[in-house]
Amino acid sequence: VRIMNDEGNTSLEEIEDYSTVVYKTFKSEEDCYAFYNAYAGFKGFSIRKDDVRVDRDTNKAKDTGI
C-alpha cells in the first residue's frame, strides 16, 4: 500500500496515522464500529455495516446483488 498526499509525497504523520488505524485491534465488533465510524467522520467519509447472508450448502457469503 502506498500512502501519498495531494502532492504525491508521504509524510511521517500520514504513515503513523495509517499504521495506527490499520493495525488496531478491538475487544468487540461494537468497539470497532464506533472507532471506524468516528475516524471516517473525522476524515470526511462514512462507513456502513451490513448483514452477511451465508449459503448453508457452501458456507460462503451469498451475493446480495448490491
Q: Residue 46 has what pLDDT?
A: 93
CA dist list (Å): 33 to 26, 29, 49, 55, 65: 9, 6, 8, 25, 24
Domain ranges of the chain: 12-61
Task: Calculate the average pLDDT of the chain.
Answer: 82
Confidence check: pLDDT of 35 > 90: yes
- Which residue has 508521504 as its cell numbers? 10
Q: Residue 22 has what pLDDT?
A: 86
Q: Which of 13-17, 39-43, 46-50 has the lowest mean pLDDT?
A: 13-17
Whole-model pTM?
0.58
CA dist list (Å): 11 to 14, 20, 25, 36, 39: 5, 14, 24, 22, 19
